[in-house]
């Protein structure tokens, strides 16, 4: 997240506190967009076989290219080719393209954030390529090689937990290093009422709540149930409800 923040702000001069909050929020949105796509590609919702028509447009293809450049010690410039590739990919996944078998997810999947911010503050390759290396690969220390991280097991509640954890941080100016860095800010969590609930607690509360309501009920009666979480946060309890009813 810190690298994304630094990338978005690389051409800004003396950002204000309001700018820092804007940068951090948009960096979170951008990070979770990337993770969402990596998850879809890992699960086969987007085919990343090299023979597929989608592959040249994919995030996996871009990450593979960056890995190859990293392994030959290529120095990345202030150009924006990776950022443009990803923006084109966002557009493709919103609208779809039947010619290459992409039906599109609609605007909602990439609606968070201000489109003008993303247009006015592109991330240079020197930052974004490092972001993608850290996001897509893990080092095999024995073989000393980079291996693709398996995003197949990434669940919606994992993303929620990550998001809640990142709320503990805020973006600040580091005068000594002359760059933007993340610092813990626990008050932000308290102010927004955002706290992580362990999965075993979620499972227990959901089971205790729903068991009396579904006992001896028919499928149709269960489908008539209305479940409300008035402070849903990342949706842990609602996702737990779906899993319980399955």
Residue-level pLDDT at 131:
96
Residue-level pLDDT at 190:
52
DSSP for 141-153, written as a single string: TTTTEEEE--GGG
> Distance (Å, rounded) from C-alpha 43 to C-alpha 216?
36
Q: Which of 73, 105, 75, 70 is nearest to 91 (CA)?
A: 105
pTM assigned to the model: 0.78
Residue-level pLDDT at 138:
92
Residues of the chain below pLDDT 50: none
Residue-level pLDDT at 229:
86
Residue-level pLDDT at 29:
93
Residue-level pLDDT at 192:
52
Q: pLDDT, tens digit, for every residue of 173-191?
A: 887 767 899 888 655 555 5
Residue-level pLDDT at 13:
86
Residue-level pLDDT at 154:
81
């Amino acid at each position: 997240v810190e690298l994304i923040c630094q990338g978005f702000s690389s051409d800004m001069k003396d950002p204000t506190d309001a700018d820092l909050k804007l940068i951090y929020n948009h960096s979170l949105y951008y990070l979770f967009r990337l993770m969402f796509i990596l998850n879809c590609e890992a699960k086969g919702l987007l085919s990343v076989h090299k023979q597929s028509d989608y592959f040249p447009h994919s995030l996996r293809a871009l990450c593979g290219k960056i890995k190859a450049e990293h392994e030959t010690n290529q120095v990345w410039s202030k150009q924006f080719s990776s950022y443009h590739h990803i923006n084109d990919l966002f557009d493709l996944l919103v609208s779809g393209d039947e010619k290459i078998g992409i039906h599109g997810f609609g605007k909602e999947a990439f609606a968070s954030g201000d489109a003008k911010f993303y247009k006015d503050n592109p991330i240079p390759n020197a930052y974004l390529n490092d972001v993608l290396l850290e996001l897509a690969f893990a080092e095999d220390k024995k073989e000393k090689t980079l291996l693709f991280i398996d995003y197949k097991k990434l669940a919606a509640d994992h993303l929620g937990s990550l998001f809640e954890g990142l709320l503990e941080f805020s973006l600040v100016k580091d005068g000594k290093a002359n760059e933007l860095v993340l610092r813990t800010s626990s008050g932000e969590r308290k102010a927004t009422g955002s706290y992580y609930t362990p999965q075993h607690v979620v499972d227990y509360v959901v089971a205790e709540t729903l068991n009396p309501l579904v006992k001896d009920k028919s499928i149709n009666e269960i489908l008539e149930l209305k479940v409300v979480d008035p402070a849903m946060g990342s949706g842990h309890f609602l996702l737990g409800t779906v899993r319980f009813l399955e």
